[in-house]
């Protein structure tokens, strides 16, 4: 019903043009992405001659991925990113959901004061020099936990979770507190199970942010051993510095196409995001995707 409501009586010509624009959007986004995937799976000898339009590999080969997964520097960076993301998200979810729960209890005196504090935290951006000094003073410089702790709470996610929490029926809370359950019990035994999907959604947003963090990682994690995947990718792909591959051991790159190897590194970096993507779509944008209203 929804999909044809405006199509009735619509001129065929404009429908054709709208479809054409959609196809254009698809091509602009997909062709550069798929071209990289194709190059990563191609025979290294043939990559140089590949057109930017080509989305299927030329002479199939897995050699780039073999190099990536046998290179200690890339492994190290990959593992660092995984550890930071997993531990970081666990911390994010616990701290944010506790705060969101407290902030949505009507019996919390001084709530607007806290909200003003959070909004101020969102508006003010300190200089990078100050962030650097604070991390140094906290003794966290060049230690992996710094990137687990960085952005423990973001106000955006806090407010998002508060919106979901405030929709939980009050009657359930009252029933729980009559049973004598304390706030912590209510949060972990009643609230979290009831709000599984919002919490996972917020967790996904945090996970994407941790995984994609590049600038702060490059400033706060200075040694090769603590490099994250994004920082590695930046040195290798953006700065074109292939010595990073050898930072934790020697490597033989004869006959390897740098473009192919770079493409494969990008694919590996994006893979975890692609795994999370269907979930984010399903729950966060399901409303707008199925034609209903998300509120």
As measured in angstroms, the least distance from the Cβ of 277 to other proteins is: 6
The answer to whether the CB of 219 falls within 8 A of the CB of 213 is no
Q: Phi then psi for 42, rounded to 5 degrees?
A: -85, 160
Listed ranges 68-76, 195-203, 241-249, 287-295: which one lies at the site for other proteins (CB under 8 A): 287-295
Tokens representing 138? 């906290």
Could you say which residues in the range 225-244 bind other proteins, by CB under 8 A? Answer: 230, 233-234, 237-238
* Footprint of other proteins on 55-84 (CB under 8 A): none
Taking CA atoms, 85 is separated from 95, 222, 293, in Å, by 15, 18, 32
Nearer to other proteins, 127 or 169 (CB): 127
Q: Which of 219, 225, 248, 251 binds other proteins (CB under 8 A)?
A: 219
Alpha carbons 268 and 283: distance in angstroms, whole number: 25
Q: Cβ(229)–Cβ(273) under 8 Å?
A: no
Site for other proteins contains 87 (CB under 8 A): no
Residue 230's H or E segment, with its range, is helix 229-233
The nearest distance, CB 186 to other proteins, in angstroms, is 10
Choice from 63, 83, 87, 99 touching other proteins (CB under 8 A): 99
* Cα separation, 147 vs 226, whole angstroms: 11
| 31 is a site residue for other proteins (CB under 8 A) | yes
Instruction: Give the residue with the Cβ less far from other proteins, 71 or 236.
Output: 236
Which residues lie closer than 8 Å to 69 by C-beta, 6 or more apart?
75
Q: Closest distance between other proteins and the C-beta of residue 248, in Å?
A: 20
- The interface region with other proteins, picked from 6-14, 58-66, 165-173, 246-254 by CB under 8 A, is 6-14
How far is Cα 149 from Cα 152, in angstroms, rounded to an integer?
A: 5
3-state DSSP helix/strand/coil % of the chain, to nearest 5? 70, 0, 30
Site for other proteins (CB under 8 A): which residue of 121, 172, 175, 253?
121
Binding mask 167-206 for other proteins (x = CB under 8 A): ---------------xxx--x-------------------
**Sites for other proteins among residues 34-53 (CB under 8 A):** 35-36, 39, 51-53
Please, are residues 162 and 103 in contact by the beta-carbon 8 Å criterion?
A: yes
In the complex, minimum distance from the CB of residue 267 to other proteins, in angstroms, rounded to a whole number: 10
Which residue, 181 or 225, has its beta carbon nearer to other proteins? Answer: 181
Residues in the chain: 295
């Amino acid at each position: 019903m929804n999909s044809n409501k405006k199509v009735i009586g619509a001129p065929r010509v404009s429908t054709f043009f709208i479809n054409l624009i959609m196809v254009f959007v698809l091509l602009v986004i997909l062709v550069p992405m798929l071209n990289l995937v194709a190059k990563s799976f191609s025979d290294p000898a043939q990559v140089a001659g590949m057109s930017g339009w080509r989305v299927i590999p030329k002479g199939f080969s897995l050699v780039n991925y073999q190099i990536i997964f046998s290179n200690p520097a890339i492994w190290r960076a990959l593992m660092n990113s995984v550890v930071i993301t997993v531990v970081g998200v666990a911390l994010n979810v616990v701290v944010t959901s506790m705060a969101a729960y407290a902030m949505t209890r009507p019996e919390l005196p001084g709530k607007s004061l806290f909200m003003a504090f959070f909004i101020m935290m969102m508006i003010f951006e300190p200089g990078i020099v100050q962030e650097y000094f604070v991390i140094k003073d906290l003794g966290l410089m060049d230690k992996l936990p710094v990137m687990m702790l960085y952005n423990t709470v973001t106000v955006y996610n806090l407010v998002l979770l508060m919106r979901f929490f405030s929709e939980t029926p009050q009657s359930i809370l009252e029933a729980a507190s009559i049973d004598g359950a304390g706030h912590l019990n209510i949060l972990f035994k009643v609230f979290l199970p009831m709000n599984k999907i919002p919490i996972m959604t917020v967790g996904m947003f945090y996970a994407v942010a941790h995984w994609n963090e590049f600038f702060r990682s490059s400033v706060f994690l200075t040694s090769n051993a603590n490099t994250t995947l994004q920082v590695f990718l930046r040195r290798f792909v953006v700065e074109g510095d292939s010595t990073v591959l050898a930072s934790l051991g020697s490597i033989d790159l004869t006959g390897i196409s740098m473009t192919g190897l770079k493409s494969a590194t990008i694919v590996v970096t994006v893979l975890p995001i692609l795994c999370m993507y269907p979930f984010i779509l399903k729950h966060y944008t399901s409303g707008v995707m199925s034609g209903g209203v998300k509120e």
